Structure formats: structure tokens, C-alpha cells
Structure 1
């Protein structure tokens, strides 16, 4: 049996510590610890509680010691776009405001006074989303300029957690691309753009690739958790790690990383920053070894999760599927990417308001709400497949779904029906596995990406939907 590697995979609603190792040529995994993550309201903004999040990171490390599963290295991945500013004494500046907060409303138009939306996309190829880091930073410049004046370092969320563990400040490439401040050609910070926006250049550090070492645990962390380990950069953007572990990503397959967000696209070696691509709202996020994740962000299971919280009975997710099937007769559809669904006070009311605005029948029952969301999401997937094929000039034979959402059997069936493609599902813990694979690639337990993906195929049950 090989060494243990620990993936700390943190999503917008939950996190998990998953150990991985090689055994008889297959990747084995074991969940050590799981915890909740959620937004808090602070100073009239939606924020992340990073103090609590770091305590959960430590709690999971202590469980490794308790179970005598000491990892050789540790990697942390999270969602993208959100960040922390540190001053020259390495103290946090301001609150860690989350991407679902409304502070960036209207900020895009302020940015476009400096650089047009088309020119911005031509430079970085990143899908316009109002919560991208570029708009968050410009909101700070306009509303709290003193924070940027004091800023010494800019760290994405996993980089900040790495800093707390090691004392080392390192920026990672895949997550940095979600800021919309990395040039697609140079694959480095776009300092000319940063200058144009009046942002402080010195806060943006060297970009490191996945497999790079961050450093060993600080002494106080070693004392607290009971062991020392090296912190290694995976693809710290969770989608980057998930796609790394997608076993059928090749010239004939589309991937769908399914969770709170749905990320649907193909892997490419050259970015597409054309106007045609921009108008279809595709993104060219950085991937492992300078590959590009050419994809579209789709609202995803967030809408089902939000509805579930509003229902009187806290249904299991498997029960939601059955309720949605019952409501199959409901005729209305919504644009799941409409901004009204990003962070509504009530998802039910947002769905009703959208249907009323578009002169469609409003959902009333739990079954109708769920059916509306399920079918709208599958329809969005089908539209995205058609757009991918139109932009790339290729026809893809199958879709490979990874992540927690691949367990949603009803959504899988609807997706197969609406897209007309063969669907394959698994692995469920793709993000954690991609994190672990990057660590294994660093130690040469796996020699390259091809071997890593072949190892995933051998190690996990990849199912064909409907087979």
C-alpha cells in the first residue's frame, strides 16, 4: 500500500477530509471527516466564516491522528472567485464577503467604463459573472478604498487556509483564472489590466502550478494536530480538481461536474477568446498542466437545495426526485441562470415571479416547484451541449457526469432525454480524487495525467445511465 494523501475538499455548503492511497494499482479513498459550511450575515453582507472553516480543517486533521492515518501531504480545494486581503502584518483586512452577496450589483458597468466587456474577454476568456473577483475588487476600490491601500497580499480562500497551516503565501494558477485578472496568453496576472483598473499590483504574487509545494505545517499546527505534513497545491479550484479526475474526458466526451453549481464543458489545449465564444458566455478556466476547461457555469443543484430548505418537511434528496417525477405534468420552464435565482430570500417566490413575468403557469405545489427546476436544468444542459458543438465544430457522443450530483438518478434520466447523448456517471468524489491525484503526481506514484485518469477508470464503478 502506498502513502496516504489527504484532500480537504470544501464546497459552498459542506466540506470533507478524504484520504487516498494506491493499493494494487487502484486508488482507494476513505472519508475521515465531514462538516457543514454556510454563509453568515455580517455588517449587512453575506460572508464566509473563515475562522470556523479553519477550525473544521484542524478538526479533520486531528481525526487523521486519532485514526492513525497520517498523510504524507495535504491539499485544499474550494470554490473560486472569493478571496482574502492581508495587510503587511499578515492580518485580514475587512470581511470575507461571499460571491452571493449583492455588493457587485452595477459594478460591471463601472469596469466597462475602463475596458469594454468584449476587450476584457479577449484578454482573459473568462465568462462574465457579476461575482467574479474583478468586480468584487473594483467594488472594494469604489466603496472601501482604504482596504486596498493597506493590502499587502491577495489570497483565494484555499490559499488563505494554506497560509494559516504553513505561514507561506502562494497563489495557485487554476483558481487565479477565476478572478478574470489572468491573461489567457501569458497565463500570468494581467498587470496591464490591473494597472488600468487602479488595483495595487504588488498584492498579486507568483502563480504556482498544481503539484507545487506550499510548505510544512507551522510548529503550532503540528503541536495541535499531532503530526507534520507537507501542504501541496492541487488544482485549488474545485472544478479544476474534479475535471482532472473525470475518467472519460477525451475528444469525444463532454464533462459535467454536478453539485451546487453545474460546470459543463470540454477540455482544450488552446483557449477560445473569440467574440463568438463570449456571446455564448463560455469560459476558459485554467486547468491542470495549462489545459483549459472550456465550460459554462450553470446554476446547478443550488435551486433544489434552496427549495428543500423552504419545504415544511425536510425531505431526503432521494425523496425530492420522486416528488419531481409526480410533477412531470407541470408545463413551465425557467432560465436557471437568471440572476434572480443567485441568492433569493425565497427560491419559491423567485420561481413564481419568473413564471409570472414570462406569462407562464406559476408552480404552487412542492411537486410543481421541483419539476419546474429539474426540467429547466436538463433543458439548460441540452442547450449548452448544442452551443459547445456549435462553437467547437464537433459532435460529442457522450456526457460524463462527476461529483455528488451524479447520484441524482432522475436528473440523469432527464439529461439523457433532453440531450440525446449517452451518459456516464462517477466517481462521486471527483473533486477530492482530483486533489489526491495531483499529490500522487507530485511524488511520481502516478507518472502523468493519462495514467491518473486510467487509474480512476480501473478504481471506480463508472455507470452508463439506463444500462
Structure 2
């Protein structure tokens, strides 16, 4: 009997339960069972996730699966990274988890690294410096709450704990904390001491593909849900997205394009040398002994904010169409500037950035959307060149996965600027990567290469070829702006 797999895939703006099955045509078939909105709200002075609501939505999805006639399933959970839940001695959460976009860590990174040099931390962890990393969140954590804490759990591990009663720390998400020691494969004692936590406050570290257990009996008395075995997959959504990329051969890169854009490549050994440190590249742990060598880029968060500010009058597709009617590169914007992390108004912040840097100000929906898309493409192309310098070889292909793979305009401009063949899709790579780990664990697939062949056979992947004649010199001008012009003009 063919197994039924379910990916619980939760991002910062939405979550979904995706059902996956291998059918007689030897292709992977996906079916979205349940989708729900996600977001943080201001609570007790901080931006927090309503974790109980997220878990309730998972049970709603499981009830839909049971109603659709599926009585036995296998399930994996992935979410965003760096955020955590503090669990008390009674096994209950102390408070709702604070979002990484909360302002509490604004100065924490500079304060902590004034005592522990950045190159020292990078040599230990290989993780890029971002102000919202778990290391800096814990540095700013309420000390009384930490004293009451029995376990610190990353978001997907906490959800798995609530479902099964079993607590683990899965390595792909744990590595994003900037507290795992690359050489020892454990949390680094010196870094833990710096933020007043101990090793035994984290559940045991496990690899992707570990069987967590069955959903507890008590949930079956409260909800009409199927018998469910939970597999601890690559719980960081980017780790799952990379696994769900159709990469083939050597020298390919990935761009997981969603709320965040994560651009990089898959390595078998970490790269934490001086150049990687200077370029602020990260070595997040992947499944099956790999490392995700990548750079965080602001991503579609910017267009998501703009869409909301226009009262959702325009769909993402309509904004892309409006952008295509506007000439690109009318202004240069450093999309990774911290001011775009969580502004009160993304539109006002973009316009103010352009005004202060003496550039034309985008005003119409199409102009604003093109300013975002064209500068995202510029940033992607710039980082591909950085990636090539660090690794010492040319990137041949770029696999764009996630929701951003549907934005043809962005795909083509990126291909043109970076001079790479772009393969776009699948858009549900994160859920697919989640499912692949489950299938490998349950022996429906041999390994990840077998899984990537399945992806290429199952999904329509679009190809974009570069046209080098279209934007001659633009990338060089943008690189000069990042190096010189922005610092001189943007205050």
C-alpha cells in the first residue's frame, strides 16, 4: 500500500499542509489540504508569534486530511529559523515566542561582539552575522524567564514536542542560532555562557530524518485526526527548500525565493575562511552531511509589505505586470539595508531612501514594484559574483525555487545580470524537500539524488537564458554604488 506523506510547511506570512504521494506514474503528486495566514502581533511589548494558533491550524488541517479519507499518514514539520520557545519545568511555554523582526536585538550584536570578536565567532560557527540570530535574541532575553526555563526549543521542534511529547533539537535549524561549533558538532560552551544558557537546556541534537514518534493519544480525543507518525525532517524551511531544488551536476547554485531570499550553494565541507567571513556568508547545516553556504537577502518581504500597504488592491501577479511596464534600474537600492527589515511603511522607507541618496523617487505601484524587483535582481547577481570569488569557480546554473520562481520578470533580469542559466521551479520546493526526507526515511526513495531526479521528472521547470546585451555595465554601476555611493549619500 502506498504511503501518504504530509508536509507541514510554515513561513513567516502563511502556513500550509501539503499532501504528497508517489503514484503509479512514478511522479510525486502534491495536494494542498489546508492553508492559513501567519504573522506576529504586538503582545507584552514585543512582536510575538501566536504559537497556539499555529498548532490549532495544524490540527484543522489534519482533520481535513482525515475527512478526505486518509487514516494513516507520515508527517514532517518545517518553519522559519532563529526563533525559539522557552519551556518551563512544567513542560508548558513560558510566553509566546518573540519574532526575529522584533526591535529588541537592534544593538545586541554590536554589544556582544565588542567582547567576543566577530572573526572568533565566525571561525567557531561559520554563521553569518545578522542582528536577529538566536545568539543575540538570547543575549537580550528576559533573565527571569531564562531562570525558569527547562528547555529552549526552536519553533518546529516545539511544534513536534507538542504533537508527540518528544523533544529534540534538529541540526539544520539549530545551526542558524550561531551557537553550534563547526568542529565539535555541539553547542559551543563559550557562546552559551555569554548568553547565560547551558547545553542541557537544549534537547538532544538529531539529524534530519530522525523518527520523532506518533501524535499523542490526547490529541485524538480532542480532534478527529488520522494516525500520524512524525518524522523530524530538515526543519529549517531553507534546508527543505534546498533539498527540494532540482540541482544537477556540478557548480549549481540555489535561490530560495520567498519572504527571504537565500542565495548560495550546497557544499560537503564548510567554507569559513577569511573571504567568506568578509562577505558575511553562512554555513548552515544541511541534511545528509551537507552545508548550505549562502547569503540572506531581504527578499519578497518588501513586495509583501507594499502589497499590504496598497490594501491588497493588486495581486502579486498584477504588481509584476505593472513593474514590467516600467524601465528598470531607475534607482539603486541596497535591499539588505537594515531599515527594510520591519519598517512602519515600506513604501515611505523606499521613497525616503531614494530621496536622501539623490535619486528619482518611485511613486506609482509599478514604479515601486520595479524598484524592488530590479534591485533584488542586482543584489542576486552581485552575490553570485561574490560566491564565485569565494569558491574559485564559475556558477553555471541558478535554481530558483519558492514563490519567487513564479515572477518571470525577476527571473529574466537575474539571468541577464548574472550571466547564468536560470531554472525556475518548483514553487513548492520547501514542502517537497520536507516530503523527500520523509520518503527517504521510510525507504520510498534511496537518497537525495534519487529525490532530485523525482523532482525533475514530476514538475514543470522553466528555463531563462541570459541576454548579455540588455544591461551592459549596470551591475558594475550597482557594485560601485554599494561600495562608495551609498555610504556617501544615504543617511
Fold shared, TM-score > 0.5 on shorter chain:
yes
Segments ≥4 residues shifted beyond 6 Å: none
Contact 2:138 2:195 in 1 (8 A): no
Q: How far off is 1:363 after superposition?
A: 1.7
Residue deviations 1:137-167 (CA, integer Å, cap 9, x gap): 0001xxx211111111011111111111111
Match of 2:486 in 1: none
Q: How far off is 1:200 after superposition?
A: 2.7
TM-score (norm 2): 0.92
Q: How far off is 1:249 after superposition?
A: 4.8
Match of 2:166 in 1: 168
Kindly tell me: are residues 358 and 139 of structure 1, through their superposed partners in 2, closer, same or farther at Cα, counting changes over 3 Å?
same
* Mapped partners of 1:71, 1:401: distance in 2: 33
Match of 1:371 in 2: 370
TM-score (norm 1): 0.97
Match of 2:135 in 1: 134
* Mapped partners of 1:214, 1:344: distance in 2: 39
Kindly tell me: are residues 276 and 369 of structure 1, through their superposed partners in 2, closer, same or farther at Cα, counting changes over 3 Å?
same
Where 1:158 maps in the other structure, the secondary structure is: helix
Q: Give matches, 1:147-186, under 5 Å.
A: 147-186=145-184
* Mapped partners of 2:330, 2:226: distance in 1: 57
* Mapped partners of 1:196, 1:204: distance in 2: 16
Match of 2:107 in 1: 106
Contact 1:148 1:200 in 2 (8 A): no
Q: How far off is 1:373 after superposition?
A: 0.7
Given candidates 208, 211, 214, the residue that maps to 2:212 is 214
Q: How far off is 1:91 after superposition?
A: 1.5
Q: How far off is 1:257 after superposition?
A: 0.7
Match of 1:19 in 2: 19
* Mapped partners of 1:313, 1:198: distance in 2: 43
Q: How far off is 1:114 after superposition?
A: 3.1
Q: How far off is 1:4 after superposition?
A: 0.3
Contact 1:333 1:373 in 2 (8 A): no
Q: How far off is 1:31 after superposition?
A: 1.0
Residue deviations 1:286-333 (CA, integer Å, cap 9, x gap): 101120000001111110111111125611111111111222266112
Kindly tell me: are residues 69 and 465 of structure 1, through their superposed partners in 2, closer, same or farther at Cα, counting changes over 3 Å?
farther
Residue deviations 1:115-136 (CA, integer Å, cap 9, x gap): 1111101110111110000000
Q: How far off is 1:454 after superposition?
A: 1.0
Q: Give matches, 1:47-86, under 5 Å.
A: 47-86=48-87
* Mapped partners of 1:221, 1:274: distance in 2: 48
Match of 1:332 in 2: 331
Contact 1:6 1:71 in 2 (8 A): no
* Mapped partners of 1:362, 1:222: distance in 2: 56
Residue deviations 1:55-111 (CA, integer Å, cap 9, x gap): 101000000101012343111100000000101111212331101110001111221
Residues paired across the two proteins, number: 464
Q: How far off is 1:201 after superposition?
A: 2.7
Match of 1:237 in 2: 236
Q: Give the root-mean-square deviation of aligned CA atoms.
A: 1.4
Residue deviations 1:349-387 (CA, integer Å, cap 9, x gap): 110121122222222222221111111000000001000
Match of 2:384 in 1: 385
* Mapped partners of 1:294, 1:113: distance in 2: 26
Residue deviations 1:154-195 (CA, integer Å, cap 9, x gap): 111111111111111111000000100111122221123212
Q: Give matches, 1:249-328, under 5 Å.
A: 249-311=248-310, 314-328=313-327
Contact 1:85 1:92 in 2 (8 A): yes
Kindly tell me: are residues 313 and 120 of structure 1, through their superposed partners in 2, closer, same or farther at Cα, counting changes over 3 Å?
closer
Kindly tell me: are residues 462 and 70 of structure 1, through their superposed partners in 2, closer, same or farther at Cα, counting changes over 3 Å?
farther
Match of 2:202 in 1: 204
Q: Give matches, 1:335-350, under 5 Å.
A: 335-350=334-349
* Mapped partners of 1:330, 1:113: distance in 2: 38
Kindly tell me: are residues 226 and 397 of structure 1, through their superposed partners in 2, closer, same or farther at Cα, counting changes over 3 Å?
closer
* Mapped partners of 1:316, 1:322: distance in 2: 10
- 5+ long unaligned stretches in structure 2: 467-491
* Mapped partners of 1:459, 1:413: distance in 2: 23
Kindly tell me: are residues 222 and 382 of structure 1, through their superposed partners in 2, closer, same or farther at Cα, counting changes over 3 Å?
same
Residue deviations 1:20-78 (CA, integer Å, cap 9, x gap): 11123221111111111111111221110111111101000000101012343111100
Match of 1:452 in 2: 451
Contact 1:26 1:455 in 2 (8 A): yes
- 5+ long unaligned stretches in structure 1: none
